Amino acid sequence: MTPFEGGEIAEILDAASKIKDQDPDSWYNSWPEVGTKAEQIAQEAESTGDRVAARRGYQRASNYLRAAQFMLNEGPIGHDKHVLPTMERAIDDFRRGVKYLDGDVHFLNIPYENKIKLPSYLYLPPECKCLPNGPKTPTLVNTGEGDSTQEEIYFISASVGPYLGYAVLTFDGPGQGIVLRCDKLPMRPDWEVVVGRVLDHLWDFARAHPGADLDLDHIAITGASMGGYYALWGAVDPRIQACISWLWRLFSAGLLSEGVFDALIRSISGWTFQARWEFNHMKWAMGRESDVKVIRRMLDYTMKCKDGSELLHSAKCPVLVTDPGSTFYFDPETTTRKILRPLCICPMTKRRSGWQRTWCLEGCKLKSGRLGTRCSG
């Protein structure tokens, strides 16, 4: 994130030096310190009219504060009173920072369900970066990840996309970001419903803001990790013209009873904070109170339709499936290829994959997305 103003090496090393192994409280205490310093730098720059330094300071502060609350998931949502105010402060800093970007940023509220709205940002390219010869602006929708916030996603896609001529739309959906922490909405497996709401609002925005010059015939969707699953479900919407998906397989069924499984997870969580954090977060995100219920809920996250047919048989847009070879969760040979096979309904010219031994650069995904949205027309 440092190349895109999400951190400064000296500040990060200062925070990291104060973090103790297996101690989430030391994690939380270290990041607000550097976050407050970055806020002060931003405020001073803002008072003197230095837009660039103000933007950089606020974005670093936001990212440090987002990181601070990340590990605080012991107990149910809302149990730790540091989480929500820290998250809200991070969002406030982020919004202060992005107003100093070269292109316009629109803060959207997407109607969802039961009067709840999903917060969203739409980043437009600066005029000097709009595509040549007058075509309208294509849009990349980043659907986030299983434990991400849309402010974090900025450093993955929105920090680059507008300078390549893209509009980039991010949002916090159910189980993500402020929607999880404030509205306590759990994630849902039928993510095409969420993407449908997002696209409906994007269409409304385009009609109300013709000056944005959005090309609604060139919409791509992307997501990494859990977001790869989300992106694939979103890609069945005919309004999506290209999809970039980095998917990891969610669950392999075992032969353990529920009681034994819960006892095993409690034992593992007792001596490794990583396992405890991951299962605690999934209980938050899935809206479940026990580890075994999390696993059962994960079984609903599948590439099969309710009638047993393959979801990806309905995908008509080009799909780029990527998977880094060094991931410590799953073997790409048994995940990426499983996604490619159901895509055989697409012509061979539209079936491409990419995986490598190291973590992929997100900039490569953006460039691939640009190719997809241009070629699909």
Looking only at the bridges linking them, the beta strands covering 117-123 and 167-171 are antiparallel
- 319/346 Cα distance (integer angstroms): 9
Among 228, 331, 328, which Cα is nearest to 278's? 328
Q: Left if phi > 0, otherwise alpha if psi is -120 to 50, otherwise beta: which for 189?
A: alpha
- 215/193 Cα distance (integer angstroms): 22
Of residues 30, 225, 245, 257, which has the active-site annotation? 225
- 263/281 Cα distance (integer angstroms): 18
Q: Which residue has the tokens 């070269």?
A: 102
Q: Which residue has the tokens 């010869």?
A: 133
Active site residue 353: no
CB 118 within 8 A of CB 179: yes
- 137/32 Cα distance (integer angstroms): 38
Distance set, CA 37 to CA 8, 84, 301 (Å): 12, 20, 42
313, amino acid identity: H
Q: Using the 8-state DSSP alphabet, how is residue 125 labeled?
A: P
Here the tokens at position 293 are: 């219920």
CB 309 within 8 A of CB 290: no
Here the tokens at position 39 are: 């806020």
Here the tokens at position 315 are: 């995908």
Among 369, 372, 374, 371, which Cα is nearest to 143's? 369
Residues identified as active-site: 225
